[in-house]
Amino acid sequence: MQVSLKEEVFKKNLVFAKIFSKKLMPKELLLELLQEQEVENSFGIIGKAGATGQAIFVKLPVVMRSTPSVITLFNPSRANAQVDNESINADHTASGAAGVRESSFIINTTGNAGGAVGDIMGVHWTADAEL
């Protein structure tokens, strides 16, 4: 029986989700970024200036089959796993996932000393719930 692309993507998202283009695998993401093509990311607005704690709430595209055991972060501008302050093009000093559930997680991050209230922060991610 032929399965539609929409159905296939839904089934795949039960065990693995990512924020960047569906055409890309993580190793290809860096190549796309180097070519300066536009990709999507999760983002937030900095609410406290300087090197202070910030958070980005992420809602997964579907409820996954189990809680993702691995959340991997990718900086949208440089080859590292830090959230990026896109307004000043500077990395945050610490980033990681917390509160991971089948349908959502939180990215906790410590801002850059040069960050200001209202700056945009962004990050790419993958969520893996495979066995």
Residue 77: pLDDT band (50, 70, 90) is: confident
- The pTM is what? 0.74
Mean pLDDT of 97-107: 94
The total of other beta-carbon atoms located within 10 Å of residue 129's CB is: 19
Going by the DSSP 8-state scheme, the letter that residue 26 receives in this structure is H
pLDDT of residue 20: 58
The total of other beta-carbon atoms located within 10 Å of residue 27's CB is: 7
Task: State pLDDT tens for residues 42-55.
Answer: 878 888 888 999 99
pLDDT of residue 18: 66
pLDDT of residue 47: 87
Rounded to the nearest integer, the mean pLDDT of the chain is 81
CATH code for the part of the protein at 5-128: 2.60.40
